[in-house]
Amino acid sequence: MYRIKSQIDINSESFQANQKAFLELLNTFRERTRSTIDRAQESAVLKHKERGKLLARERINLLVDPNTPFMEFSSLAAYNKYENQFPSAGIITGIGVIHGKETLIIANDATVKGGTYIKETIRKHVRAQEIAMENHLPCVYMVDSGGAFLPDQANVFPDRFDFGRFFFNQARMSAEGIPQISIVMGSCTAGGAYVPAMSDETIIVKEQGTIFIGGPPLVKAATGEEVTAEELGGADVHTSISGVADHFAEDDRHAISICRNIFETLEHKEKQKLDIIEAEEPFYDPKELYGIAPVDLKKAVDSREIIARMVDGSRFQEFKARYAPTIVTGFAHIMGFPIGIIANNGVLFSETALKGAHFVELCTSRNIPILFLQNITGFIVGKEYEHKGIARDGAKFVHAVANANVPKFTVVFGGSFGAGNYAMAGRAYDPRLLFMWPNAKISVMGGEQAADVLIQVKKDQLYARGEEMKQDDIDNLKKSILEKYEHEGSAYYSTARIWDDGIIDPVDTRKILAMGIAMSINKKWDKTKFGIFRM
Ligand code: COA
């Protein structure tokens, strides 16, 4: 494969200015992440430690193989919501390697309101289970939770993808042969009791873990019976009387080592075949992405410059390089894994959509995963393009992406607006993982366009009544829409609501994608079957 030849002058004023602006965004991201994760001096954390318990992230570090990374999802979930009283939404989810197996780990953070579940905690838990199901990853639940956050019950209990979905997913995964292991390291109350009860194998920590459908206060209120938590559902009870748990652990560390031992007994299943070659660092330094990533979304960026700083040896086998230049398509390797890349390079036209659909077909027929690099304002508008059938051609691209059964990965490196989001494997198109860079923005259209549309609609309404819109009203409407879109379009707004799997540093993109592809080969990929392409 040929090496991309970069046209960027890293000493230029524009590169340096972009880099400076990007590093400010990156510092904000790092600071927000640090303050979410590092809460060592908070009273709930001190209380937790005094009880001799390890913190959720410490538990995970001990569970995974030494010197292997943990790919954490959505660490800024619930950010800027609930007065920031739910850091990471009170749950840590991600992928780590245990005895060489990529494993989905879900750990309650009991220092956040007793590890109870608000809407975002539920979404994170269910999303993590979805990832496990799609990729056939064993699940470890490190349980330490008071169950539902009761004031938020209407948002956590009744709906299809609420609390009940955890246990449904556990049953379905177990039936598919995806191991479900629980370690009860604290409270496990009410509905939450089903997490260990529905697991294939369960470990419980002495004088620390409890499992019960109704805790002592509820039992007293319901029956008048007075009982301690330990007598009702402690480790001794469940490993020697009820049999709800299988292994008795002395403390957190012992429980984790039992869990690791269980992994030694799991079956090694056949993986999806993929031609993996020796990994190579990119020829161009990934740190140069800071000078290239669009801080100002109005600035055009040649997406080959992004690809060059992400793929092995900066080598790229471009497909249809001379045709439909507003999309860049081609093959490359990321840490030795083959990947097909579709990257925006401007607005989507009919021919762009056809090129994209054609390339998706190449990837599915060759069984190569696809990376979508999103920086998209949407499909082209106007009479000329409607007459040529942009809706029909756009639909072909969307159709191809929707039905492509090779693993899809999406990284939003700029804007993600309008139907371009669909064609480029937005969240609704089931990419295995979706990440945002700190500069990324996502909304149905850009703020300026939304403001112009709404002003035009208002003007038309008034005109029909023989009235005119005053300049002051136009200015006020424009200002309020711009502010709203700026706020709701930010990567932080998105990640707080788990519309993505997290915000990432551009430099880490390569490593994260490689982990994603490695995870995706644990399940053999389904054959792709396309439906009717409208011709
Ligand atoms: N809903 C809402 N808030 C809850 C809660 C729940 N189910 N359980 C605990 N909290 C809150 C507490 O009010 C406290 O809030 P604060 O920090 O603002 O004061 C915080 O979580 C920590 O609770 P605390 O009891 O001080 O911590 P703990 O570590 O000693 O005990 C639990 C944690 C979870 C064991 C204990 O709070 C408990 O038993 N909660 C009730 C669990 C229950 O019955 N759940 C049923 C849900 S279906």
Between the CA of 113 and the centroid of ligand 1 the distance, in Å, is 6
Both tokens assigned to 19: 């880099």
Is residue 225 very low, low, confident or very high in pLDDT (cuts 50, 70, 90)? very high
Q: H/E element holding 193? A: none
Q: Residue 376 and residue 424: Cα distance in Å, rounded?
A: 8
Give the residue-averaged pLDDT of 402-428.
96
The answer to whether residue 25 scores a pLDDT higher than 90 is yes
The answer to whether residue 391 scores a pLDDT higher than 90 is yes
Residue nearest to ligand 1 atom 33, measured at CA? 114
pLDDT more than 70, % of the chain: 100
Between the CA of 210 and the centroid of ligand 1 the distance, in Å, is 14
pLDDT tens column, 48-100: 999 999 999 999 999 999 999 999 999 999 999 999 999 999 999 999 999 99
SS (H, E, C) 450-488: HHHHHHHHHHHHHHHCCCCCCHHHHHHHHHHHHHHHHHH
What is the position in ligand 1's atom list of the atom closest to the CA of 149? Answer: 1
Between the CA of 39 and the centroid of ligand 1 the distance, in Å, is 19
Give the residue-averaged pLDDT of 509-531.
97
Query: Which stretch, 108-112, 218-222, 470-474, has highest mean pLDDT?
Result: 108-112
What is the position in ligand 1's atom list of the atom closest to the CA of 115? Answer: 34
Give the residue-averaged pLDDT of 444-465.
92
pLDDT tens column, 149-158: 999 999 999 9
Q: What is the pLDDT of residue 190?
A: 85
Strand ranges, E, within 129-262: 139-145, 180-188, 201-205, 247-249
Provide the mean pLDDT of the chain.
Answer: 96
Q: What is the pLDDT of residue 378?
A: 86
Q: Exposed, middle or buried by CB within 10 Å (0-12, 13-18, 19+), for 527?
A: exposed
What is the position in ligand 1's atom list of the atom closest to the CA of 145? Answer: 34
The answer to whether residue 192 scores a pLDDT higher than 90 is no
Is residue 446 very low, low, confident or very high in pLDDT (cuts 50, 70, 90)? confident
The pick from 163, 189, 211, 212 for probing ligand 1's pocket by mutation, whose C-beta has the most ligand atoms within 8 angstroms, reads 189
The answer to whether residue 46 scores a pLDDT higher than 90 is yes
Between the CA of 438 and the centroid of ligand 1 the distance, in Å, is 34
pLDDT tens column, 232-274: 999 999 999 999 999 999 999 999 999 999 999 999 999 999 9
Between the CA of 146 and the centroid of ligand 1 the distance, in Å, is 6
Between the CA of 114 and the centroid of ligand 1 the distance, in Å, is 5
Nearest to 433 by CA among 509, 506, 324: 509
**Could you identify the residue written with the tokens 């979404």?**
123
Which positions ≥6 away from 309 have C-beta within 8 Å?
Answer: 282, 284, 285, 286, 288, 289, 292
Give the residue-averaged pLDDT of 475-480.
94
pLDDT tens column, 348-366: 999 999 999 999 999 999 9
Q: Residue 461 and residue 475: Cα distance in Å, rounded?
A: 17
Q: What is the pLDDT of residue 191?
A: 81
Residue nearest to ligand 1 atom 1, measured at CA? 149
Give the residue-averaged pLDDT of 113-123.
97
The answer to whether residue 104 scores a pLDDT higher than 90 is yes
Give the residue-averaged pLDDT of 287-303.
95
Q: What is the pLDDT of residue 360?
A: 98
Is residue 35 very low, low, confident or very high in pLDDT (cuts 50, 70, 90)? very high
The pick from 187, 218, 220 for probing ligand 1's pocket by mutation, whose C-beta has the most ligand atoms within 8 angstroms, reads 187
What is the position in ligand 1's atom list of the atom closest to the CA of 146? Answer: 34
Pocket of ligand 1 (CB under 6 A): 110, 113-114, 116, 146-150, 187, 189-191, 215
Q: What is the pLDDT of residue 86?
A: 98
Between the CA of 498 and the centroid of ligand 1 the distance, in Å, is 24
The pick from 91, 121, 150 for probing ligand 1's pocket by mutation, whose C-beta has the most ligand atoms within 8 angstroms, reads 150
Give the residue-averaged pLDDT of 115-136.
98
Give the residue-averaged pLDDT of 433-462.
94
Q: What is the pLDDT of residue 428?
A: 97
What is the position in ligand 1's atom list of the atom closest to the CA of 113? Answer: 21
Q: Exposed, middle or buried by CB within 10 Å (0-12, 13-18, 19+), for 228?
A: exposed
What residue type is 95 in one-letter code? I
Q: Convert 333-367 to b/e letters by CB count within 10 Å (16 or more is b).
A: bbbbbbbbbbbbbbbbbbbbbbbbbbbbeebbeeb
